[in-house]
A and B are shown apart, each in its own frame.
Chain A
Amino acid sequence: MQLEEKLMSSFVAFESEVDTLAPVHDVREKALKSFEKLGFPTKKNEEWKYTPLNSLLKEDFHIFSKHDNTVEFKDVKQYFIHDIDTYKIVFVDGVYNSFLSETTHEGADICLLSAALAHSKYQKNITDYFHKIASKNDAFTSLNTAFAKEGAYIHIPEKKILEKPIQIIHFSTGNDTALMLQPRNLIIVGKQAEVQIIERHQSLSNQKVFTNSVTEIFADQRAQVDYYKIQNDQEEASLIDNTYIRQEKESNAKVHTFSFGGKLTRNNLNFYHNDEHIESTLKGITIIENKQLVDHHTLVHHASPNCESHQDYKGIYADTSTGVFNGKVIVEKEAQKTNAFQQNNNILIDDKATINSKPQLEIFADDVKCSHGCTIGQLDEDALFYLRTRGIPKKEAKALLTYAFANNVLESVQIPSVKSRINKIIATKLGVDLGFDV
């Protein structure tokens, strides 16, 4: 396999750019060995059964960007949530862009992983948190870890309630044909601290781009994490997102994933509970068309009593697009009084669209409430007729019903600007003007 070999041999070149004496480099080297052993997953791997990687991995991706790439704000403004004040950590072809960014060290550290790795004052956090919950047995996570050097570093100290959201945006210019990006984010949210984060990967051309991203999030006691992933990329952009969240006592973490575009998008979203009275929310809306594929692999690991998790994923698939939902919930023997809910509802707009939906519940405790539900259907004909008798044309009527179908995922979006942005993207996706501001 070409890409695999290329990556292995690129590691030496990579080492010339980083501090090989830093403790983190041991972690990288171990991860590289792990990747070498694991190799890229094939269709035989149950976790990748419905998401074939062959065509993606046969591309001759550049591992490092050869160009010094810049972009003008006016050309990329549309990809920001720009009607509210936010912190911004922006990368162009994997390189930090200070011109587009707005970082801080006042009251909280909202900056770069490369800076955190380089400076001694962050050493403790790096030692305590870096690569502590990311999987050691996942090929893509290992690969990312081996090449980890840049991404967002966010540390919200105890009791700090961040007053404005943080946007993490990765642009790819397409100046390099076929570029592979491996951002690595580390997010530490202290006791009773609160943060809202919006993450986006955006290709600015039709060139092939493959992003393999890893994010580790630590939510300490009573911390509140509200995270939004906006995935509305170009037809030739693929993303494998690996997000790991560890929650402490009475913390609340929510991740909303909006998947509207890209060639192949795989979301591995993993929640680990480390104490009691934790709440986790995983929600998503997927609306895709053509040959696009979106795969949501979720894991909620209930390891302590009295915790809750809520999963709600809605999917709308047109043309020959493919959806995958694999929702795994583990309830350990100790995790009595767990409430774990999972819902996955899908609409297939066209006959050739596919959804593979698989709930996986592994429950070892006996006093728990766990439920899962999955539906696959078409838009309700009676509802469509109702709207049309009100004079609403078929196309708009379908869009309204689709919007209504996905709506309860939007209800829990806490940032109004994000909600209206998602509404706009949905309206554009459905090819209609929904005719009102929501």
Chain B
Amino acid sequence: MLSIDNLHASVEDKSILNGISLDVKAGEVHAIMGPNGSGKSTLSAVIAGNENYEVSEGAILLNGEDIGELDAESRAHKGIFLSFQYPVEIPGVTVTNFIKTAINASRKAQGLDEMPAKEMLKKIREKATLLEIDSRFLSRSLNQGFSGGEKKRNEIFQMAMLEPKLAILDETDSGLDIDALRIVANGVNKLRNENNAIVVITHYQRLLDYIVPDFVHVLHEGKIVKSGTKELAMELEEKGYDWIKKGA
């Protein structure tokens, strides 16, 4: 599904990713952990196509296709989704209208007609139920005045609607209380299948109790310094990141 080879990226001449290689197969969940400043969010931004980062070396392949030169919207059309740590507020555009716009933009890019209103409505209802979102929420302005939990739930709702091949969840657990965390994680788990893949980016192990990864990678100074299974996450929780930093 996703194959990253020796990826180097920088922002304003400051090198942040220093040779990352990662293979994510369909049906897998990978967790990327690491201390603050290790490059976790940069990695997700670069995969999603943020133009603020300069990729100086390496390649990002999605199902064998090099997507390194594509803009963010084209990557989205190919099935990449990024759940933001800090989703953006858009006054005057409701959650429903926003998701309609997003879905139809993707369909248009793929040469499809707009999704019929009835079908759209049915899908919205179905996915809203999955994430325990009530209909009033859907007619609010996107992210405006949302609590931390509502913002993250809304991100996963968008993921559910857009049905990406590869979803990157950037610090989805930050700002969530335990109930919200449970709802969000349940939603993600229900969206998992053998045709998609999920990359969970997190500082803490907590989220991984709910979204259980197949593989865990530890990022430090822009490199993956250790990879393992879910037990690695628990070890990190116990020992903290100093252990990794010293070993690196």
Contacts and interface: CB of A to CB of B under 8 A. Distances in A.
A389 B48 contact: yes
A389 B90 contact: no
A396 B101 contact: yes
B9 interface: no
A400 B90 contact: yes
Contacts of B84: 386, 389
Contacts, number: 87
A383 B103 CA distance: 18
Given A383-B88, A404-B90, A389 B82 contact: yes
A227 to B, nearest CB: 22
Contact of A381 (B52, B73, B162): B52
B92 A391 contact: no
B50 A436 contact: no
A204 B156 CA distance: 50
Contact of A400 (B51, B75, B101, B104): B101
B227 interface: no
A410 interface: yes
B162 A391 contact: yes
A385 B50 contact: yes
B22 interface: no
Interface residues of A, number: 28
A37 interface: no
Contacts of A387: 88, 90
A291 interface: no
A274 B76 CA distance: 58
B76 A391 contact: yes
B217 to A, nearest CB: 22
A434 B104 CA distance: 11
B106 interface: yes
B106 to A, nearest CB: 4
Contacts of A380: 88
Contacts of A436: 97, 100-101
B109 A391 contact: yes
A387 B76 CA distance: 10
Nearest to A406: B92
Nearest to A392: B105
Interface string A373-414: 000000011110111111111101100110110011011000
Contacts of B81: 389
Task: Pick from B48, B81, B92, B106 the residue with the most CB of A within 10 Å.
Answer: B92
Contacts of B101: 392, 396, 400, 434-436
A403 B94 CA distance: 12
A393 B109 CA distance: 9
A390 B107 CA distance: 12
Given A386-B87, A391-B77, A394-B71, A404 B92 contact: yes
A142 B162 CA distance: 61
B91 A408 contact: yes
A393 B75 CA distance: 11
B contacts with A: majority SS: helix
A394 B92 contact: no
Contacts of B39: none
Contact of B102 (A391, A403, A410, A411): A391
Contacts of A383: 88, 90
A438 interface: yes
Nearest to B50: A385
B93 A403 contact: yes
Nearest to B110: A391
A410 B91 CA distance: 11
B158 interface: yes
B86 to A, nearest CB: 8
Contacts of A403: 92-93
A383 B76 CA distance: 15
Nearest to A385: B50
Interface string A402-438: 0110011011000000000000000000000011101
Contacts of B158: 390
Given A386-B87, A400-B90, A393 B97 contact: no
A436 B142 CA distance: 14
Contacts of B102: 390-392
Contacts of A394: 71, 73
Nearest to A381: B52
B187 interface: no
Contacts of B90: 383, 387, 400-401, 404
Given A385-B51, A389-B75, A393-B73, 20 more contacts: A383-B90, A385-B52, A386-B87, A386-B88, A388-B72, A388-B73, A389-B76, A390-B105, A390-B158, A391-B77, A391-B102, A391-B105, A391-B162, A392-B73, A400-B90, A404-B93, A407-B91, A435-B97, A435-B100, A436-B101
Interface of A: 380-383, 385-394, 396-397, 400-401, 403-404, 407-408, 410-411, 434-436, 438
21 contacts: A383-B90, A385-B48, A385-B50, A386-B84, A390-B76, A390-B102, A391-B73, A391-B102, A391-B109, A392-B73, A392-B102, A393-B105, A394-B71, A400-B90, A400-B101, A404-B92, A408-B91, A408-B92, A410-B92, A434-B101, A435-B105
**Interface pairs A-B: 5 shortest CB-CB:** A407-B92, A391-B76, A388-B72, A390-B102, A391-B106
